[in-house]
Amino acid sequence: MDWFRTPGIHKYETYKATLKKIPATRLSRLTEALANYDPVLNEYFFDRHPGVFAQILNYYSYRRSVRHYLSIHPPDYSVGTGLFGLSRT
């Protein structure tokens, strides 16, 4: 199980097998040697909009499209999905 933290109090968890479902993406290649891994907290930190990150994890889990919600600024989706190697659908 991997833990992910975004700015604020948002914390997410998912299985490594879930992230391996989409190869050649940033989350599928996570290792503990990366700078965004905190060995004390045993989690990865991503400085991304929490709503966008939740949608990205949803995409990995269920292969549902990353959707735009009115509460999230559209460029945040483009930057977020691009950073993780996903196309916005």
From the list 3, 24, 20, the residue with the least C-alpha distance to 12 is: 3
Residues 3-35: tens digit of each pLDDT = 777 777 788 888 889 888 888 888 888 888 888
**4 strand-pairing partners:** 12, 44
Residues 23-79: tens digit of each pLDDT = 888 888 888 888 888 889 888 888 877 777 887 888 888 776 655 554 566 666 555
pTM: 0.68
Q: Residue 26 has what pLDDT?
A: 85
- Confidence band of 89 (pLDDT split at 50, 70, 90): very low
Residue 47: partners with Cβ closer than 8 Å, 6 or more residues away:
6, 7
How far apart are alpha carbons 74 and 32 in whole angstroms? 31
Amino acid (one-letter) located at 72: I
CATH superfamily of this structure's domain 2-83:
Potassium Channel Kv1.1; Chain A (3.30.710.10)
Q: Residue 9 has what pLDDT?
A: 74
Q: How far is CA 76 from the centre of its chain?
A: 13
